[in-house]
Structure 1
Amino acid sequence: MPESSVLSVNLDTAFLNALQLSEQASLEPMQLIAVAERLGTVRRHTDVVRLYQSWLAHCRSTADYIVQFNLGVTLSQLEQLPAAEQAYRSAIQSKPDFVQAWFNLGAVIERQGRADNALIIWQSMLDHPLVGPELNRELYLMVLNSMGRLMEETRQLNSAEAKLLASLQADPEQPKVIQHWVHLRQKQCEWPVFTELEQLSLGEMLKATSPLAMLSATDDPGLQLATAQRFVSERVNQRVAELAPRSGYQHERLRIGFLSSDFCLHAVSLLTVELFELLDRQAFEVYGFCWSREDGSALRARVKSAMDYFIPIGALDDAEAAQLIRQQEIDVLVDLQGLTSGARPNILAFRPAPVQVTYLGFPGPTGLPCVDYVIADEYLIPDSEKPFYSERPLYLPVFQCSDRQRPVAALPSRAECGLPEDRFVFCCFNNNYKFNEEQFDCWMRILQQVPGSVFWLLADNQWSQANLCARAESLGVARERLIFAPRVAPELYLARYTVADLFLDAYPFNGGTTANDALWMGLPVLTRSGRTFASRMAGSLLTALDLPELITRSLSEYEQRAVELAKDKQQLGGLRQRLKHGRENSLLFDMPSFVRSFEAGLSRAYARLNKA
């Protein structure tokens, strides 16, 4: 058979001829790769694998390692990961310094759930070295960035920060790397978070900061909006055709879709599950569009059972997911994700529903032109702050829903929590990335003014704990006065609140679910309100409870009020009694009333379609 037969315009003919030549050990590597590339272009990956395997079984060449590598790539595309791993290993055996094969080997091992092994592979590339600042520089950055990402995902925060720092020192013009590096520093309470590097100014760091990280970094609403809009301009494809009719549909019952990756044991589901359950099925159909992990939790099962239709979209790309939502003719799509981790704003960009709303997941402006409304209350977004939102506020009497059925474990003693029996216990169980120097230093001044008091914190990670203790000691507060509580199941966590005296909220990123939980368990929450959504969340909850005495508006007022309450048992006891009454009688925990207001709000928004 002439070798030119593999150049046939007919791809089937070229493929069969190439197979025959490979079995005769007569197919040259370049001809093999040419046919394989043609097959790959039309996604005939199974045929590509068959051709490569046939050639490797019958032919020999100094290019074996390239064929093995290409086979590994194709097997990876087919999700045949163990076979892909073996192909990469064979390529490396043929050519030990084949850098790209080493990198891909780590990647395919990671995809099989062996994170530690992947990190070992990539670290070996740095140690030998196969890559470096002046050696295969592009792959050097890929190795460092992949290691940083995976280390962050596996909670090796300090090592992740170091890898990303090395990457930025080699190439500071990497906005996505800066974004993760900044947030890693926030998570570890590495202060100041924004530390100028060579060839990387503070302004460039600020520009690359993620919308989520910016909620903790500043109380400037304009900067938060600008950050969100920059993120959207860089990451969201706004040049796509809208799928849903702008005039809406004419359904007998309004179809509400909830969009989230947090339909699992997550703060969003902890707050929303009873909302899903209580929506009036005479007037509404409820859909859940989910790309959440299957965590096997009772909460996930409860969320799924609360939906009329629960539709997984994790295996679909954004365009496919948007098309699926459009096919359901959803009237109002409520995005519970915003710009938080795992968000898929490109689904919303297709406008698969005529009305699109952001709620709860991201406490700030999304900057998304495709989002029409943000659910809020008049305390959360006063008239003066409306210009700093890309969305129109959809006002309810109170913005946050709750779950009255949240399970609570047996109440512990202070001794069981590692707390002193006779001391005043301040607490803050917010994630540590919400902390900053100004707020923490204020907390330490409060401790100094309340002799013997202790501060009970979440043991978020070992690096933040060490940094917080070191900061306390530098300010003259013994590290023993900071007591760290490990993460536990939600029912155990809720029970803890009953042994604390006062919750000290963070600023400018207030507690959301944590503040709600503390108040539900009868623990007064002292907060500071600013101008941003994130800095007004706890104030909104306290307003709904008619407890304005616990809302402050400056750092000095916050500090003074905390000390005052710690030294006045009668006043604090009175607040506890009012809080206990509020649990049964306030707007905040009256879920049937909240659900009716939520339904009315979405119905108003949908009715405006025909008035526009």
Structure 2
Amino acid sequence: MPTDPFPPLELDSLLASSLQAIERVALEPMQLLDIAERLNAAQRPHDVAALYRHWLQHCQSAVNYIVQFNLGATLTLLGQLDAAEQAYRAAIAQNPRFAQAWFNLGALQERQQQPQRALTTWQSILDEQLVDTGEGRELYLMTCNAIGRLSEETRQLQAAERALEASLAADPRQPKVIQHWLHLRQKQCVWPTYAPPAGLSQGDLLKASSPLALLAASDDPGLQLAAAMRFVRDRVNAPGTALAPSGGYGHGKLRIGFLSSDFCLHAVSLLTVELFELIDRAQFEVYGFCWSREDGSPLRERVKRAMDRFVRIDTLDDAAAARCIREHEIDILIDLHGLTAGARPDIPAWRPAPVQITYLGFPGTTGLPGIDYVIADRYLIPDSEQPYYSETPLYLAQIYQCSDRQRPVAELPSRAACGLPEDRFVFCSFNNNYKFNEAMFDCWLRILQRSPNSVLWLLADNPWAQANLCARAADRGVDPQRLLFAPRVAPAQYLARYAAADLFLDTYPFNAGTTANDALWMGLPVLTRSGRTFASRMAGSLLTALGLPELICDSLQAYEDRAVALAAQAGGLATLRERLRAGRETSVLFDTPRFVRDFEAALKQVALGVR
């Protein structure tokens, strides 16, 4: 056993003598800091705080601002946030240009759930030039990046972009900063998104791009696989040994675990809740492993009720969460996250289940070493594209996407209630704006030009995207007033809106997923373009299941021509609507019990491989 370098009795004696020396003003500042360091190494923060406070009560020194700063850091560690704030402010009062104290104060304000105060504090560091790109470069970058991160979290997207751009101007070699900067530009429809700032090339941007951002930027499956593998290399810690036995457990009922932070009012739960409810309990036990927010929504309560066991893992680190799953002897773990925001890829990396599958959350290959299969259908992942997936496709018999037939729908609104003209053809696209790109939006504008009695109804995602889309329309000779923006509403009202539109225009290369399912459920035809990647074939998969292949195009020109033709031929659109209404009752897309049986059959198939 190694000897403790700081035995408790020795530290107790040192602390007592130090406090006496402070009262006699017989302790030098460097001695104080050395004693505090020894106490910190012994994990005695309460004693460190007492030591600093005693010094400040008895000693006047030019370096007391450093002692106040250290006291603030110690009190923050102890969770005494109000007292920590007082200490930081005392440090600043003694040395107003002490930038690190300002930075820590901002971090403390964020922790106190005061994001705007934190942003103001951090911005003052830059405004007062307390740091620069010379000597204080590291703190300058930290400040810019903190402003960028928190501004993004509070949906101040333009301010976030500016802060990260300033950071990249000081140091372009920051891949994580590039990643967020790019996605912020996508969200605001700043085009060209991949215009490199000084010191970077387009290749640098592509290398730093997140797998999610690339879904909307490229239909190259090789590029998407490379992005996923790079993410795994940089962010995932794969342990050397698996937690679960490779041969399985031999349970009479297969234990299926769903892993997600989206068991709340989220697109994933909107699709999957009836699947959870209908899984045959004679053959399966259903577990939910959750780190979702408690949003109080009826959907969250419905998801929880649908699980045989609902296990919160938000207080566990990834290794402990994986051990928790292993202790429940889960036969098949289904990760509903993939590489989306909030994912915890280190959990499946521990391999807590003998068979691990990715489903729905991320529409592409994950590159995750712990994932064996991706749930798909033959349209979604053709045989020719299988080499671009790190997972083995687990093909369902009919359709990869499940549907909820019980989704609530509000009373259908009139066009006037939606702010729409009664006598115009209404194209709509309620996809998130980050899925838009120059080529797709310009195609939509050409459709408007060729269909003069039409408008385009979009989601009011954020004001910067809205302004940029309107400016783009004006630049292309389309009256911006023909772009109409719908605010976000509750799911029931959102679904009801679809009754007021004539044709849904899908995005490419990142198709609508849940959004396309919603539109089709509400009887609104969806026009899509299919490509090579998972994300670019989602809507085509749904339309194939509905028996509406004529709404699937293989080029933007075909897409544009088809949209114009449908807007001009009311009879053709009426026929499509009638087939869609019939398909709601008869197609495999909305036959959820049949989907569940196919889903169960696929799970039993892979479970047999480990028995």
Q: Give me the TM-score of the superposition, normalised by structure 1.
A: 0.96
Whether contact under 8 Å (1:8, 1:14) holds in the other structure is no
SS at match of 1:367: coil
Distance 1:35 1:258, change over 3 A: farther
Q: Deviations over 1:159-190 (max 9, x none)?
A: 11111111101100000000001111111111
SS at match of 2:609: helix
The equivalent residue for 1:561 is: 562
SS at match of 1:256: strand
1:320 aligns with 2:320: yes
Distance 1:439 1:44, change over 3 A: same
1:22 aligns with 2:16: no
- Could you tell me how far apart the structure 1 residues matched to 2:573 and 2:14 are? 86
Q: Deviations over 1:419-458 (max 9, x none)?
A: 0001100000000110111111111111111121000000
- Could you tell me how far apart the structure 1 residues matched to 2:8 and 2:495 are? 64
Unaligned runs of at least 5 residues, structure 1: 1-6
The equivalent residue for 1:465 is: 466
The equivalent residue for 2:508 is: 507
SS at match of 1:527: strand
Whether contact under 8 Å (1:18, 1:32) holds in the other structure is no
SS at match of 2:357: strand
Q: Deviations over 1:530-575 (max 9, x none)?
A: 0000000000111111111111111111111111111111111111
1:418 aligns with 2:419: yes
476-485 vs 251-260, which moves further: 251-260
The equivalent residue for 2:115 is: 115
1:176 aligns with 2:176: yes
Q: How many equivalent pairs are there?
A: 604
1:538 aligns with 2:539: yes
Query: Residues 86-235 of structure 1 correspond to what in structure 2 (within 5 A)?
Result: 86-235=86-235
Q: How far did residue 28 of structure 1 move?
A: 4.4
Whether contact under 8 Å (2:495, 2:522) holds in the other structure is yes
SS at match of 2:610: helix
Distance 1:570 1:12, change over 3 A: farther
Q: How far did residue 91 of structure 1 move?
A: 2.1
The equivalent residue for 2:436 is: 435
117-126 vs 577-586, which moves further: 577-586
Between the two proteins, what is the percent identity of the paired residues?
67
70-79 vs 400-409, which moves further: 70-79
Q: Deviations over 1:396-416 (max 9, x none)?
A: 121111111111111100000
- Could you tell me how far apart the structure 1 residues matched to 2:79 and 2:302 are? 32
Distance 1:71 1:288, change over 3 A: farther
Q: How far did residue 125 of structure 1 move?
A: 0.4
Q: Deviations over 1:257-315 (max 9, x none)?
A: 11111111111111111111112222222221112122121111211222222222222
- Could you tell me how far apart the structure 2 residues matched to 1:69 and 1:108 are? 12
Q: Which amino acid aligns with 1:547?
A: L
Whether contact under 8 Å (1:23, 1:58) holds in the other structure is no
Whether contact under 8 Å (1:210, 1:227) holds in the other structure is yes
The equivalent residue for 1:521 is: 522
Distance 1:255 1:24, change over 3 A: same
Whether contact under 8 Å (1:449, 1:563) holds in the other structure is yes
Whether contact under 8 Å (2:6, 2:38) holds in the other structure is no
The equivalent residue for 2:496 is: 495
The equivalent residue for 2:334 is: 334
The equivalent residue for 1:573 is: 574
Whether contact under 8 Å (2:322, 2:351) holds in the other structure is yes
Distance 1:27 1:472, change over 3 A: same
Q: Which amino acid aligns with 1:431?
A: N
SS at match of 2:520: helix
Distance 1:28 1:314, change over 3 A: farther
Distance 1:578 1:19, change over 3 A: farther
Q: Which amino acid aligns with 1:161?
A: E
- Could you tell me how far apart the structure 2 residues matched to 1:278 and 1:148 are? 44
Distance 1:301 1:82, change over 3 A: farther
The equivalent residue for 1:4 is: none
SS at match of 1:134: coil
- Could you tell me how far apart the structure 1 residues matched to 2:27 and 2:242 are? 49
The equivalent residue for 2:552 is: 551
Distance 1:227 1:247, change over 3 A: same
Q: Which amino acid aligns with 1:590?
A: D
508-517 vs 598-607, which moves further: 598-607
Distance 1:559 1:124, change over 3 A: same
SS at match of 1:609: coil
Q: How far did residue 235 of structure 1 move?
A: 0.9
Q: Give me the TM-score of the superposition, normalised by structure 2.
A: 0.96
Whether contact under 8 Å (2:11, 2:39) holds in the other structure is no
Q: Which amino acid aligns with 1:447?
A: L
SS at match of 1:374: strand
Superposition RMSD on alpha carbons, in Å?
A: 1.7
- Could you tell me how far apart the structure 2 residues matched to 1:37 and 1:18 are? 12
- Could you tell me how far apart the structure 1 residues matched to 2:18 and 2:141 are? 41
Q: How far did residue 191 of structure 1 move?
A: 0.6
30-39 vs 515-524, which moves further: 30-39
SS at match of 1:343: coil
Distance 1:8 1:445, change over 3 A: closer
Distance 1:329 1:90, change over 3 A: farther
- Could you tell me how far apart the structure 2 residues matched to 1:273 and 1:84 are? 45
- Could you tell me how far apart the structure 1 residues matched to 2:229 and 2:552 are? 30
Whether contact under 8 Å (1:18, 1:27) holds in the other structure is no
Q: How far did residue 199 of structure 1 move?
A: 1.0
Unaligned runs of at least 5 residues, structure 2: none
Whether contact under 8 Å (1:290, 1:311) holds in the other structure is yes
- Could you tell me how far apart the structure 2 residues matched to 1:563 and 1:62 are? 76
Q: How far did residue 8 of structure 1 move?
A: 8.0
Q: How far did residue 76 of structure 1 move?
A: 2.3
Q: How far did residue 63 of structure 1 move?
A: 3.5
Query: Residues 59-78 of structure 1 correspond to what in structure 2 (within 5 A)?
Result: 59-78=59-78
